[in-house]
Amino acid sequence: MIADEQSTKTFLDFFVEQALREDVGDGDHTSQACIPADARSRARLLVKDPGVLAGVEVARHIFQKVDPGARLDVFIEDGKAVSAGDVAFEVECNTRALLMAERLVLNTMQRMTGIATLSNRFKFEVEDLPVKILDTRKTTPLIRFLEKWAVRLGGCQNYRFGLYDWIMIKDNHIDACGGIRQALERVAAYQKEQGLNLGVTIEVRNLVELYEALDAGGFTRVLLDNFEIPLLREAVLTVNNRFETEASGGVNIHNVRQVAMTGVDFVSVGALTHSAVSLDLSLKVMK
């Protein structure tokens, strides 16, 4: 998994390097033309929409990459609620570096804050129920680690980070493999062969497939995909705590509580990342 501190730093270093290369190219010619090389400025990060703040630590990393002497005075930490008009932090650094990093900081924080805010709304809908809201792999390529970080800041949980840290046998695997039992048996043999002990999710599309999976066994969690609420409730009762249960498919902010009340252990929501709307932030130089 890439959630540990060292791996996150590695991904963050790569992200900042590539993002600056994309934006700056052979130089920020506007700033080089207008701003003396030794000028220093102070700027503040202004919040323009209500939500849950995310990306402050990423901003710190970016500013210190472009100017190792940059200093951030943080007033609102990651994961905290913000309102329009709040000042999240002030940064003091080389002016050219500040202007070079401005758009990267804003784009990243706006995206992360949007995800954290939406995640927090989902969490609020079910916070009195014994269920966990999970994200999915429906993320933006190469910035998955940032988007999943934002999900956690919003109060929801990460599922697998990639194809390597959890086995998920989905409908395409089952159909290509010849059936649920065959897929589960091959996964068990593969794990033994490779010396792995990964969690295993088996996706089922109806009660017939659920009974097939329960009869075969050899998995950690059953994913009940696109089940109507009455069938979802029946499926949870059928599993009867023998395995973890997860609901997925068509979950949104309006129906997540109804889904959670069926008794499932987990609800996975692709919308946390693929449908989050960025929150408006701005970075203003202080005169």
**203 classed as catalytic:** yes
User: Active site residue: 203, 209, 246, 265, which one?
Assistant: 203
Could you give the C-alpha distances from 32 to 29, 93, 132, in angstroms and in order?
5, 15, 50
**152 classed as catalytic:** no
User: Active site residue: 170, 192, 242, 284, which one?
Assistant: 170
Q: How far apart are CA 85 and CA 195, in angstroms?
A: 54
User: Active site residue: 9, 13, 77, 103, which one?
Assistant: 103
Task: Classify burial at 85, counting beta carbons within 10 Å of its beta carbon; exposed 0-12, middle 13-18, buried 19 or more.
Answer: exposed
Residue 42, beta-bridge partner list:
92
**44 classed as catalytic:** no
Task: Classify burial at 194, counting beta carbons within 10 Å of its beta carbon; exposed 0-12, middle 13-18, buried 19 or more.
Answer: exposed
**170 classed as catalytic:** yes
CA nearest neighbour of 67 among 42, 46, 34: 42
On whether the CB atoms of residues 71 and 93 are closer than 8 A, the answer is yes
Pairing of strands 71-74, 87-94: antiparallel
User: Active site residue: 40, 138, 181, 233, which one?
Assistant: 138
Could you count the other beta carbons within 10 Å of the beta carbon of residue 45?
25
Residue environment code for 249-260, b if the CB has 16+ CB neighbours within 10 A, otherwise e = eebeeeebbebb
Residues annotated catalytic, as ranges: 103, 138, 170, 203, 225
